Amino acid sequence: MIYCGIDWAERTHDVALVDDTGRLLAKRHITDDAAGYTLLLDLLAEHGDTEEEPIPVAIETSRGLLVAVLRQGKHQVSAINPMAAARYRDRHAVSRKKSDPGDALVLANILRTDMHAHRPLPNDSDLARAIAVLARAQQDATWNRQTIANQLRSLLREYYPAALAAVAKWDNGLCRPEARALLKAAPTPARAARMTRAQLLAALKHAGRQRGIAAEADRLREVFHAEWAHQPPLVEDALGRQMLALLVQLEAACTAADDLAQAVAEAFPRHPDAEIILSFPGLGVQLGARVLAEIGDDRDRFADARGLKAYAGASPVTRASGKKKSITRRQIKNDRLNHAGYLWAFGALRHSPGAGAHYRRRREAGDWHAAAQRNLFNRLLGQLFHCLHTRELFDETIAFPTPLTAAA
């Protein structure tokens, strides 16, 4: 059997092929373009790569055009963690020397000796991979929007507390269109104090507000006309210019998050697993798409529910050495899936009586809030694994049976 290792780089890649004995059969230096990919595929074909018996490939990344080209066929591509590859490198050279051709040879030898210990990339469908791209991008846009909103809030606290008081009662605060319209019309407290009721009404209407405009305009006028501390005029104007620059970034982040959310809402319901995922309490379109993005639709990816729970960081990890033994939460996990699970469990508490009862039992047993919520996520994840494999929808009575039902 022949094994292939590819040391990935931004512009060029090094390729190495070894046999069962570790003998180097071939090595190439290819470019990151169509010509380089063709050279790689021809090299693999020269050494017996076929659709029936593809040569396994090890590479230090799971994304990019090179990986996409390899996955179009039936190649078994394994994404090796760079830290793991560095540990393997020390097995062959204690001098800590490093070179790109040598790293390609190390990756090929990793598959030769320990291919069973490294999981290949999942064989997800194209629709699942497209949903993963959109869901992760929407999650990143949401985090970026919140980061910019926090920066804007910190800046407003320095010179414009009236603006924070004006948006305090609104959901999403500074991210709302009304808040952005007001800040654009009045970037400084001095200009806000000069705004008339008609100008406030126009700003709210321009932002898309339709109900309660008159009462909201009166409330904003009272807030802006109240007594507030002020920076010196020149400093206040300079801070207002800085705020407008941040406001442009916030508007772009809000638009990106909304557009990507719309794209997710259009793509996710088309997936066969969407109906099952949406049947679970606490999972909507956006959060359900994030869960699907991380677990995929390859049913052979996880051997059992325990593997999925460990991957998500929902199950505890045991560390034992000599007479010492500790059970703690996992640090190495899929952070995106773990974050989605926290929101999922939080939403399930409000929409599932059984989930709420399970959470309260864990709290009464001595768990803190985060531990009880993580335990609930662990249970929900196991139920989702079962439902996806059996193609069944979530059933509250089966998922969280009452004591009498369980006894019967």
Domain-ending residue, one of 208, 238, 266: 266
**Tokens linked to 28:** 């190439």
Confidence (pLDDT) at 244: 95
Q: Are residues 256 and 340 in the same domain?
A: no
Judge if 288 and 262 occupy the same domain.
no
Between CA 198 and CA 219 the distance in angstroms is 13
The whole-model pTM stands at 0.85
pLDDT the model gives residue 391: 93
Domain that holds residue 196: 130-266
Same domain, 261 and 368: no
pLDDT digits (tens, 9 = 90+) for 133-181: 999 999 999 999 999 999 999 999 999 999 999 888 888 889 989 999 9
Domain count, the chain: 3
Q: What's residue 317's pLDDT? A: 83
Sign of the alpha-carbon dihedral angle for 299, 349, 332, 317: negative
**Judging by DSSP bridges, how do beta strands 324-328 and 317-321 pair with one another?**
antiparallel
In a domain, 164, yes or no: yes
Q: Which residues of the chain have pLDDT under 50?
A: 406
Question: Is 339 in the same domain as 288?
Answer: yes
Residue 134 sits in the same domain as residue 257:
yes
- Residue 403 has a pLDDT of 65
Residue 125 belongs to some domain of the structure: no
pLDDT for position 248: 95
| Residue 93 placed within a domain | yes
CB under 8 A, 24+ apart: contacts of 58-61: 58/3, 58/4, 58/5, 58/6, 58/107, 58/108, 58/110, 58/111, 58/118, 59/5, 59/6, 59/8, 59/107, 60/7, 60/8, 60/85, 60/107, 61/8
Counted residue by residue, the chain has a size of 408
Same domain (yes/no): 282, 375: yes
- Work out the percent of the chain whose per-residue pLDDT is above 90: 47
Query: Position 255: which residue type?
Result: T
User: Residues 257, 308: one domain?
Assistant: no
26 plus 105 within the same structural domain: yes
Do 308 and 336 lie in a common domain? yes
SS3 per-residue string spanning 87-108: HHHCCCCCCCCCCHHHHHHHHH
Among the candidates 64, 90, 117, a domain finishes at: 117
CATH of the domain at 29: 3.30.420.40
**Both 260 and 136 in a single domain?**
yes
